[in-house]
Amino acid sequence: MSRFEFIFVLISIILGLALTQLLSGMTRSIQKSERKFDLAHIFFSFAVVILLITVWWATFRWEHHQPWTFPDFALLCVYMSWFYVMTMILYPANLQVVPRFSEIRIRFYGAFIVYCLLEIPVMIVRDGTLEPWYYLPMMVHLVVLSGLGMVLRRDRVDTVFAGWICLVNIAWPFAARMTG
């Protein structure tokens, strides 16, 4: 077993737990829904599902990373574990009723900002560069929009931003593949 395979198993377990928590929370919210749908919560849930799947797939880009150092391994573990943190904010395990997005807004946006900031060193360590050039502006605009969501505290802003995140997470893998 190579080091990549060993690390990939750990990453798969972490991301699998995050995906399980997210899907479990989504079904729990459908089963116990006695109020109108919280579109921001639904869109952010789908956005994180899409993000989890694309990040899990992109983990194969680490296959030829050499040499593996402990800081590289630790950065990757923190990065992957952060997805579990975001899912636990969206769907806390100890609550029977799923909170409305407005109740978790600040925590989720804060966690999303941390994810965006972690993405940059992960990409630099993995690829040795921050290419393509437009990746950094994309991450910066997500941080700015998250900050605006924290400051404005409006349901409509949350819903539009969550829909935008879904769109970006679906479009990005296709755009990145077409441009190299």
Query: Which residues constitute the domain of residue 174?
Result: 3-179
Give the pLDDT band (50/70/90) at residue 172.
confident
- As a whole number of angstroms, the distance between CA 74 and CA 110 comes to 21
Segment 115-143, tens digit of pLDDT: 999 999 999 999 888 777 778 898 999 99
Task: Supply the angle between the helices 39-58 and 3-31 in degrees, to the nearest 10.
Answer: 160
Total structural domains in the chain?
1
Cα–Cα separations (whole angstroms), residue 81 to 61, 74, 77, 121, 140: 18, 10, 6, 15, 21
- Write the DSSP string, 18-85: HHHHHHHHHHHHHHT--S---HHHHHHHHHHHHHHHHHHHHGGGGTT--S--HHHHHHHHHHHHHHHH
pLDDT above 90 covers what percent of the chain? 59
CA separation, residue 115 to residues 5, 14, 66, 95 (Å) = 24, 15, 24, 24
Write the pLDDT tens digit of every residue in 35-74: 677 899 999 999 999 999 988 888 888 888 888 999 999 9
- List own/partner pairs for 138-144 with CB under 8 A and 24 or more apart: 138/168, 138/172, 142/112, 142/116, 142/168, 143/113, 143/116, 143/117
Report how far Cα 67 is from the mean position of its chain's Cα atoms.
Answer: 26
Please tell me the pTM assigned to this model.
0.91
Cis amide bond preceding 132, omega within 30: yes
**DSSP class of 106:** H
